[in-house]
A and B are shown apart, each in its own frame.
Chain A
Amino acid sequence: MDKDLHSTFAELMFHLLPSPYESQEINHLTLAYFVISSLDILNSLNRVEKDAIANWVLSFQVHPGTKADPNNGQFYGFHGSRTSQFPPDDNGVLLHNHSHLASTYCALAILKIVGYDLSNVDSEIMLASMRNLQQPDGSFMPIHIGGETDLRFVYCAAAICFMLDNWSGVDKEKAKDYILNCQSYDGGFGLVPGAESHGGGTYCAIASLRLMGFIDDNLLSSCDSSLINVPLLLEWVVQRQGMDGGFQGRPNKATDTCYAFWIGAVLKILGAGNFVDNKALRRFLLTCQYKYGGFSKFPGEFPDLYHSYYGFTAFSLLEESGLKSLCSELGITETAAKGL
């Protein structure tokens, strides 16, 4: 992998995202997370101003102002972007609060990456109000005005609580029950109960269980398989590596760069990393590497931010030299996760 080329690519993206990304403006913090975490993995964070990043991220946080009632049904986290952020009215009352769980996860992840001490984040109302998003079945809605509920937001909620080291925002038992309901007959996890097993859903399930402390590191060696069907899961996960060396997200689908992370990270968390044919995976990923930096979804296509990021994380899991190692369950580097 051409590390310098990718660092330059990530730095260019940091300074200006091309116009096609405007259609994802609502997830601006997620786009920023991809860029900034890429720089960190590539050991190139020294190219950017960390304080400016921290201040920018913090400016998306919703402050309800006067003592807001955490039981009013709203969630007070981070806005995803500027278009959804509105100034308070003349009396200082916030009329439009569109805080989002994924944006909140990305905000906190970026803050950790740039070394901001999360104990300085006003998180009391954030955590208390997060409970408003958890549904009776244990799943999470991403935003209080309504939205699809699935494993992605269970993961976001778990990662937020883990990073803040405070679990008051989540009913862990309920969240666990929801996750277990998403395990399919074939061993993988769908995004919602009944849905087809999916690499991304399986990552959210396993990473969440790990963050919530329901499964230990190296689950295989500890033999604690009472919670989920580990042998069936492992069979499903291992078989996601295709003939071309890449990983697919579902059986009988094409291999795709991003699943090298979603599936690779699950194997890592399960302590089953040695089931991967690393050489073949590396070969596949290199066919998706773009000559001017970044990675594409499929071989020989143009790169995008999302697949580039998961290409870098995949190479980090492959222990590519010069890359920082990854905290698989948080989706940031080990150094960022540990606050070093």
Chain B
Amino acid sequence: MASGSSEVEEQEQERVMLRDRPEWSDVTPLPQDDGPTPVVPIKYTEEFAEVMDYFRAVFAADERSPRALSLTAEAIHFNAGNYTVWHFRRLLLESLKIDLHDELEFVQRIAADNSKNYQIWHHRRWVAEKLGPDARNAELQFTKKVLSVDAKHYHAWSHRQWVLQALGGWEDELDYCSELLEQDMFNNSAWNQRYFVITKSPLLGGLEAMRESEVLYTVKAINVYPENESSWRYLRGLYKGETISWANDPQVSSVCLKILSSKTLFWILSVTVINRIKTSEMPLRL
């Protein structure tokens, strides 16, 4: 009953219309007003229309009850993007003093079907914010789980970056990036996260301090897959704001020359070389 999620699962098997449930017999649904001439109408299913009409009745009456909470779970099941429903759910969680750890589980279940939805992640963040540093590990694990299915999941990465900045947990993040890159060197999201870590982690000393070891790491990656745009861009990113050392660093020159001397010419390599030639002229002009 706590989060209402187990009810959704039961109802998936054999869903009973709300009007046929005794516990809802005292509620009069509040239908939406489509006006005289609806434009671009949607062919609502009976179930959808009914859930939303009951939701509207309960929301309009501001009924802060356990059944209202379980109704929001049903409504979210039908349209996980409905921010009005999510908003009411948050009011209910507060009024009913629900254990928010249960709510994390609820979000996880909803996300299993539909994780590319902004409202789910916003809600998750709201819960995690309330729980504070206690939620750190759960959030890092949760995003890891989502990323194990889709390693480039934009929402999961955004959430993870927020967790790191708001709740901490930087200790293993560079290793995690390496692990993902080992699985797939072409994972641009993991390269981006790596950049985020080396520039933002309070434990690593910033871009300047990390440059040397990161250049080594990246050059190795480029040697394995010279056609990989992600590693080349990361390499250049390591010299952000340092155009002179970008143009003069022998490590960069040697990897360019090495790849140039191989038989294949990659677009990204040409761009890199041209850019270095261009920037190397700048100090002369100055």
Contacts and interface: CB of A to CB of B under 8 A. Distances in A.
B230 A251 contact: yes
A277 to B, nearest CB: 13
A250 B152 contact: yes
15 contacts: A25-B42, A56-B37, A56-B39, A57-B39, A82-B34, A86-B56, A86-B59, A96-B60, A98-B84, A195-B154, A196-B154, A235-B275, A251-B229, A252-B186, A252-B187
Nearest to B196: A194
Interface in A96-146: 96, 98, 100, 143, 145-146
Interface in A3-39: 13-19, 21-28, 31-32, 35-36
B79 A24 contact: yes
Interface in B218-242: 228-230, 233-234, 236-237, 240
Interface in A299-318: none
Among B38, B187, B268, find the residue whose CB has the most chain A CB atoms closer than 10 A.
B38
A55 B39 CA distance: 10
A194 B166 CA distance: 14
Given A26-B82, A253-B188, A191 B43 contact: no
A231 B274 CA distance: 12
Among A28, A55, A148, A185, find the residue whose CB has the most chain B CB atoms closer than 10 A.
A185
B192 A22 contact: no
Given A184-B192, A252-B186, A26 B79 contact: yes
Interface stretch (B64-72, B101-109, B118-126, B248-256): B118-126
A251 B188 contact: yes
A83 B122 contact: no
Given A53-B39, A98-B87, A252-B186, 13 more contacts: A15-B41, A19-B43, A23-B79, A24-B79, A26-B81, A28-B40, A31-B40, A32-B40, A146-B122, A147-B122, A185-B237, A186-B234, A195-B158
A86 to B, nearest CB: 6
Nearest to A82: B32
A235 B271 contact: yes
B43 A16 contact: yes
Interface of B: 32-35, 37-45, 48, 52, 55-56, 59-60, 78-84, 87, 118-119, 121-122, 125-126, 152, 154, 157-158, 161, 186-189, 192, 195-196, 200, 228-230, 233-234, 236-237, 240, 267-268, 271, 275
B240 A100 contact: no
A119 B154 CA distance: 39
Interface in A56-114: 56-57, 59, 82-87, 95-96, 98, 100
A195 B82 contact: no
Contacts of A59: 35
A28 B233 contact: no
Contacts of B230: 251-252
A23 B78 contact: yes
A160 B270 CA distance: 42
B267 to A, nearest CB: 7
A340 interface: no
B33 A85 contact: yes
Interface of A: 13-19, 21-28, 31-32, 35-36, 52-53, 55-57, 59, 82-87, 95-96, 98, 100, 143, 145-148, 184-187, 190-192, 194-198, 231, 235-236, 239, 250-253
Contacts of A187: 233
Contacts of A14: 39-40
Given A28-B42, A56-B37, A196 B188 contact: yes
A84 B82 contact: yes
Among B39, B157, B237, find the residue whose CB has the most chain A CB atoms closer than 10 A.
B39
Contacts of B236: 185-186
A22 B78 contact: yes
A83 B84 contact: yes
Nearest to B207: A185
A85 B33 CA distance: 8
Given A24-B79, A147-B122, A18 B43 contact: yes
B157 to A, nearest CB: 7
Contacts of A100: 83
A83 B52 contact: yes
A83 B56 contact: yes
Given A25-B82, A85-B33, A239-B229, A194 B39 contact: no
Nearest 10 pairs between A and B by C-beta? Answer: A185-B237, A82-B32, A196-B192, A56-B39, A186-B233, A84-B84, A32-B40, A252-B186, A26-B82, A251-B188
A196 B240 CA distance: 16
Nearest to B117: A23
A197 B229 CA distance: 13
Contacts of A13: 40
A49 to B, nearest CB: 8
